[in-house]
Amino acid sequence: MIRMEMSPTESDWLFAWLQALPANDMAHTVLDKLRAARSAALLEVTCPVCQQPFRQLNSGRHGRYCSGACRQKAYRQRLLEVKRSSARRRT
């Protein structure tokens, strides 16, 4: 048995390359194994700010936002909510 480690980008490239090969049993077997490994290794998450789905590795700490821009936008929205709630308490 041979084990490999590859990035999601490398996995995408290998997957596309295997799909382009002429159909045979060996290519389908490797494609099935790669598909299973990708689904186990990658987590599909929806960004709470822009509602766009994004993929991330299913190990370690998971990100909540798809980008730094969405993370910053969420932070600014939270600050605005704090300001509004404190203004309501004063009146």
Domain extent listing, the chain: 8-90
pTM score: 0.59
Residue 56 contacts by C-beta under 8 Å, 6 or more apart in sequence? 42, 43, 45, 62, 63
Q: Kindly give the residue spans of alpha helices, DSSP state H, lying in 21-67.
A: 25-41
Q: What does the block give as tokens for 45?
A: 């998450």
pLDDT on residue 37: 86
Per-residue pLDDT of the chain (91 residues; tens, 9 = 90+): 778 888 888 888 988 888 888 878 887 888 888 888 888 888 889 999 999 999 888 888 888 999 999 999 999 999 999 988 887 777 6
Report the 10 Å Cβ neighbour count for 66: 20
Q: In angstroms, rounded to a whole number, what is the distance separating the alpha carbons of residues 84 and 87?
A: 5
